[in-house]
A = this chain, B = another copy of it.
Amino acid sequence: MSTSLRSDFTLGFLGAGQLARMSAVQAFRFGIQVAVYSDRRENEPVQFMTPQTGNGSFSDIDAMVSFAKRCDLITLENEFIDSNVLQKVQELSHTPIYPAPESFALIENKLIEKQTFENAGIPVTPYALVDSETSLQEFGDKYGWPYLLKSSKGGYDGYGNEKVNTPVEALKAFQQLGGKAGHDILAEAFVDFSHELAVQVARNKTGTAAYPCCETIQQNHICIAVKTPAPISTAMQKKAEELAVAATEAIDGKGIFAFEFFLTHDGKLLLNESAPRPHNSGHYSIEGCITSQFENHVRAVLDLPLGDTSLRKPAAVMINLLGTDQRPSQIDQAWHALQKSDGHLHLYGKLQSKPGRKMGHYTLLGNDADKLYSEAKSLTKDIRI
């Protein structure tokens, strides 16, 4: 078997945020070129990293086809494009897209996603499509209050999600999320979990590689930290990794994928969400694993053999550096974080900071995830960004 990497090969990213940025670096390390298509006018992180850019909305097929024609392969960094748009872009440009539009179609909205994984025998949170006051009431009566209402398409970091405690709240949220305007709205049972877990999986024709199961820690629906390995039994970690691999196979995925699970108090694993791209939960792998999720993203879509996903040290903790100030982006008070041995600072090059925006992250490697978490919090607590 042989492989070929050419210096005139261009990998195009649909999306220009930090995920594309960190994958682009791995494309560079393999000597290939990077192009980026963005739906925003302002300069985004990856646009400073390549002279090859495209601009337009994620529904502008002509603009994306023209971009794709300049690329040898297209990959995704978000899930805000319709799979039928991707399909059209692929057909008209003759440039392959991975993850494939067919794979993405199986997870692109929350309803289909749940059906896909349920059909593959993977446990998911109880759910139903709701379309009326009656169905909102019935779901609560059946699965208990509170429960969650979600836009079937387009939510992230808690946007497009509402927790509802009463039928009145349910109706209000249903309207706010666009249910009356015809948007598909999904009701999901509220899961009283002990841990939120995540597993990244790389897959292509050469094989499948799962990352160690990690715990994600959320605040206000945004991931603030990740601990690897997750503080659960090895058997349960293994089970989450196996479910993540099964989920990747269920969509015949080629690329890197992330799966988020709830671990319930009674020891059940429920698949919550999936993403056809590198994921915030896997940023620790840049230094924490022998091969990062970003390197395996590039390897996977290029059909190169996948790299070893083992941890370099017994534990890794990642802290998201969320914007603290509304100002042109700069970081202050990072001295302690930079000084620490095996503490690794990453900034995303966004020009504007605002409170809560993901501006960078900090990874600390060592022996014990809980101790590392305290230490990493302390090392980053004074950072202004």
Cβ of A7 and Cβ of B342 under 8 Å apart?
no
Cβ of A339 and Cβ of B51 under 8 Å apart?
no
Point out the residues of chain B lying under 8 angstroms from A345, CB to CB. Answer: 29-30
Give Cα distance in the complex from A290 to B338, angstroms.
12
**Could you mark each residue 84-121 of chain A with 1 if its beta carbon is under 8 Å from any beta carbon of chain B, else 0?**
00000000000000000000000000000000000000
The answer to whether A223 has its CB under 8 Å from any CB of chain B is no
**Could you mark each residue 328-342 of chain A with 1 if its beta carbon is under 8 Å from any beta carbon of chain B, else 0?**
111111110011011
Give Cα distance in the complex from A323 to B180, angstroms.
64
Cβ of A347 and Cβ of B31 under 8 Å apart?
yes
Most B CB within 10 A of own CB, among A334, A338, A345, A351: A338
Cβ of B342 and Cβ of A290 under 8 Å apart?
yes
Number of copies: 2
Interface range for A: 35 or more
- Contact of A3 (CB < 8 Å), options: B6, B338, B342: B338
Q: Which of A327-385 contact B (CB under 8 A)?
A: 328-335, 338-339, 341-342, 345-351, 359-360
The answer to whether A81 has its CB under 8 Å from any CB of chain B is no
The answer to whether A219 has its CB under 8 Å from any CB of chain B is no
- Contact of A351 (CB < 8 Å), options: B5, B8, B308, B312: B8
The answer to whether A233 has its CB under 8 Å from any CB of chain B is no
Point out the residues of chain B lying under 8 angstroms from A29, CB to CB. Answer: 25, 345-347
The answer to whether residues A329 and B31 also contact, given A312-B312, A347-B5 and a CB cut-off of 8 A, is yes
The answer to whether A150 has its CB under 8 Å from any CB of chain B is no
Cβ of A30 and Cβ of B347 under 8 Å apart?
yes
Point out the residues of chain B lying under 8 angstroms from A350, CB to CB. Answer: 7, 31
Cβ of B51 and Cβ of A4 under 8 Å apart?
no
The answer to whether A124 has its CB under 8 Å from any CB of chain B is no
The answer to whether A203 has its CB under 8 Å from any CB of chain B is no
Most B CB within 10 A of own CB, among A3, A48, A304: A48
Most B CB within 10 A of own CB, among A52, A342, A349: A349
Give Cα distance in the complex from A30 to B331, angstroms.
10
The answer to whether residues A329 and B6 also contact, given A305-B335, A338-B305, A345-B30 and a CB cut-off of 8 A, is yes
Beyond A30-B347, A50-B50, 14 additional pairs, beta carbon < 8 A:
A3-B332, A3-B333, A4-B331, A8-B329, A25-B25, A29-B346, A29-B347, A31-B346, A31-B348, A31-B359, A47-B51, A48-B50, A50-B51, A305-B338
Interface residues of A (CB under 8 A from B): 1-8, 21, 25, 28-34, 47-53, 290, 299, 304-305, 307-308, 310, 312, 328-335, 338-339, 341-342, 345-351, 359-360
